[in-house]
Amino acid sequence: MCAIFGGYQLGRESLEKMSAAMLHRGPDGRALSEENGWSLGMNRLAIMDVQNGQQPFISNDGRVRAYCNGEIYNWQELRAELEKKGHTFHTQCDCEVIPAGWQEWGTGLFLKLNGMFALVIQEGDRIVLARDRCGQKPLYYKNSDGFIFSSEIRGLRAVTGRAEVDPSALHEYFMLRYVSEPRTLYRDIRMLPAGSYYESHTNEISSYWRPEFSERLHSYEDAVDQLESLTQEAVARTLKSDVPSAVYLSAGVDSSLLAQEIKNQGASPQTISIGFGADSDEVREAASFAASLGMPNYSVQCRAEDLSSLPRVAAQMERPVGDLLTIAFDKLASTTHSLGYKVAIGGEGADELFGGYSFQKSHALFESLGPIVTKAAALGVKSAPVGLLDKLAAFPAHLGSSGRAKVADFLWGYAQADEWWRGIGLRTLFTPVELADLLSPDVLESLPDLPHYAGAQSDVERHLCYQFDGWLQDWSLIRQDKNAMAHSVEYRAPFLDTQLIDFSFRLPIEWKLSLRLDKRIWRDMAGKRIAANVSGRAKQPFYLPLEQEAWRRVLWPWIDEALSPNGLQSTGWFLEDGLQRLRKKAELTNEFLPLKQLASLAILYLHISQ
């Protein structure tokens, strides 16, 4: 685990600057090299073979060298296969298989790697960069004035200076709460897409893997059994470490199943839970479950005053994610580090693979209804008391009149909407109408088309792929990686094991989502491993309770600064009247949705002003 960085003819001084900018990602050592015109480097966070795992790893004949950020979980199987082909190894470090694997399989190596990685391979005057299929490990580059790459944007800026904001990215940020790779918020900075590699000789990026549905399974019972075996194997692979690990534990099915599987394999690591003082908090239930497994539990309380760290956390994130929950991920990572752990293991990925979000279940429901029913439902939502809707809707905090209007409008226009909006409309932060009132016309963009995914048989399946292809890395994983690595902690996600991923894309949609249940097959499998009251537990909202006055009191100064004449108004990208209307609405109602919208504006302002 580390940071990797470099470029063509950068020179030693530039490598030093890049290394210093990302010391937090690898405080345990570094290596810098200049060979055949390429300047390459890494900072190391020592996890595997702590004493001998220094990079770069070099092939037996000296022709190939590699730096890798991440973990290769199936390194032992690959090593055994390569030893039969005559390769020898000198450490017990997972990434040592990369140079030999490159010599044997070329770019076919990337499909063989089960893990999370961003890597650079050098062979003579040629380099190849690659990134894992889920985008668990980031990799940024600039190609406008010589090629340069880095695990973090700050590594690029250490050499090239301040980055220029790309106003065309604002529409997507406010719609989705993130800017989708390969774009970033900055004009000349791009991400190497997940499941892709860059080839210096051709200066081209190619995809080696894309999510697609393959031949479907036919026996549900056999599939549950197979999922159980694959999950056990995935957890076992991810546990391999030469330093102690902690486990992020809520009371939900994913992290509870993870903790149970770790216990079944003979380990009892420290568990860490977090709460916010909200009704949906699960810290007590998590502590009780940990105690039942004989695992120690440490509960963290995220408080309103923690919002004071927002500028620092925004700087850590580098790319804006329009949600204040980044504060919580930062506090989890900080606690993990303070307790003496370099590795944190969590349940990220199961919701994306098996359909665990409320808006996914709603999408499946609405697809089964005709236009008459959805319009009738819209009228019902519009006239129903908000308190009743709070009980029926899986929505964090109080739905409020703003949330009720959003749901009603979505249902009323559902039948006429395109397939992209039907699947995404309930999870957008701003609607197109709201954005037209907020953003200057010259930065508005048209709505995108839903990408094509091979083998998908319905809108719902296409959106499950879209969720995996975008939301997972640009929303979920980035919050873990950026905040964990800011505190020199590696975050691992066993449920993003490549065999589990491939298996999930063989499942019929009805095995994942039913009209009454999300993650159906995942819950049925979990029910064989953990108690029914845990495997069947409804997903609880994980959110900062902005409806509480103590949180709003700390948040408002950030909002006021962002909306001031010297703030976002000065950019020319926003309509001043729209900004003030949103502010007034939030101030008068104290409702959760407009407060979240204003928080996204404050987060953006912190990014563009740094």
What average pLDDT score do residues 175-195 get?
95
Question: Which pLDDT band holds residue 514 (cuts at 50, 70, 90)?
Answer: confident
Residues sharing a CB contact under 8 Å with residue 370, sequence separation 6 or more, in sequence order: 415
pLDDT digits (tens, 9 = 90+) for 80-101: 999 999 999 999 999 999 999 9
What average pLDDT score do residues 9-22 get?
96
What average pLDDT score do residues 3-22 get?
96
pLDDT digits (tens, 9 = 90+) for 204-256: 999 999 999 989 999 999 999 999 999 999 999 999 999 999 999 998 999 99
CA–CA separation, 34 vs 138, rounded Å?
A: 23
State whether residue 68 is helix, strand or coil: strand
Compute how many other C-beta atoms are within 10 angstroms of the C-beta atom of residue 209.
16
Coarse DSSP helix, strand, coil percentages of the chain, rounded to the nearest 5 percent: 50, 15, 35
pLDDT digits (tens, 9 = 90+) for 524-574: 999 999 887 777 777 776 778 888 899 999 999 999 999 999 999 999 999
What average pLDDT score do residues 390-418 get?
78
Give pLDDT, residue 384: 72
Give pLDDT, residue 591: 87
State whether residue 495 is helix, strand or coil: helix
Give pLDDT, residue 351: 94
Above pLDDT 90, what percent of the chain? 78
Give pLDDT, residue 403: 79
pLDDT digits (tens, 9 = 90+) for 374-402: 888 888 877 777 666 666 666 566 667 78
Domains of the chain plus CATH, in order, are: 2-207 (3.60.20.10), 220-354+457-535 (3.40.50.620)
What average pLDDT score do residues 577-601 get?
93
Lowest mean pLDDT of 4-8, 141-145, 475-479, 519-523, name the range.
Answer: 141-145
The average confidence (pLDDT) of the chain is 92
Give pLDDT, residue 594: 92
119 beta partners = 68, 130
Q: Quick check: 25 pLDDT over 90?
A: yes
CB 139 within 8 A of CB 149: yes
pLDDT digits (tens, 9 = 90+) for 94-120: 999 999 999 999 999 999 999 999 999
What average pLDDT score do residues 315-333 get?
95
Per the omega criterion (within 30 degrees of 0), is the bond before 182 cis?
A: yes
Above pLDDT 70, what percent of the chain? 97
CB 304 within 8 A of CB 548: yes
Report residue 451 as tokens.
């990408």
Which secondary-structure segment (H or E) carries 367?
helix 358-368
Give pLDDT, residue 392: 60
For 250-315, the DSSP string reads -SSHHHHHHHHHHHHTT---EEEEEE-SSTT--HHHHHHHHHHHT--EEEEE--GGGGGGHHHHHH
- Edge to edge, the sheet with strand 126-131 lists 57-58, 64-72, 115-123, 126-131, 196-199, 204-207
What average pLDDT score do residues 153-177 get?
94
